[in-house]
């Protein structure tokens, strides 16, 4: 998987098409990512007896997983979606923007 935590990505398909955000978490085994502010869902939570210390129940919103094929990395140069390429730099493999060649 070419997407990593803290990458800036744009959603290319789904209900949040065009939205951008930062990757919070990556699950390479299932090929999915959590993106900040994208694919928000509502969850009903109740108070459990062990959690009474200031927590309340109710309806909360949180991010849900997005398939990695539906997001693309945003280029640091111009803010447009791009693919990831790899180059060797002093014996180290680095990720670069496929369109502009900028480091990611």
DSSP state of 50: G
List the single range of 20-24, 42-46, 70-74 with lowest mean pLDDT: 42-46
CB-based contact 66:14 (threshold 8 Å): yes
Distance of CA 99 to the CA centre of its chain: 21
Flag whether 83 is in a domain.
no
Average predicted confidence (pLDDT) for the chain:
91
Of 53 and 3, which is predicted with more confidence? 3
Q: Tell me which residue range forms the domain holding 41.
A: 8-77
pTM for the full predicted model = 0.81
**Per the structure, how many domains does the chain have?**
1
List the single range of 27-31, 32-36, 97-101 with lowest mean pLDDT: 97-101
The CATH number of residue 53's host domain is 2.30.30.30
Q: Indicate the helix (H) or strand (E) that contains 49.
A: none
Hey, which residues does 8 pair with through a beta bridge?
22
């Amino acid at each position: 998987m070419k997407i990593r935590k803290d990458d800036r990505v744009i959603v290319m398909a789904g209900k949040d098409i065009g939205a951008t955000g930062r990757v919070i978490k990556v699950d390479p085994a299932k090929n999915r990512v959590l993106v900040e502010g994208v694919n928000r869902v509502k969850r009903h939570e109740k108070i459990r007896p062990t959690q009474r210390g200031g927590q309340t129940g109710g309806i909360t919103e949180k991010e849900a997983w997005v398939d990695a094929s539906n997001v693309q990395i945003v280029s640091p140069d111009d803010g447009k979606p791009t693919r990831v390429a790899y180059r060797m730099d002093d014996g180290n493999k680095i990720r670069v923007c496929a369109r502009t060649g900028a480091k990611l």
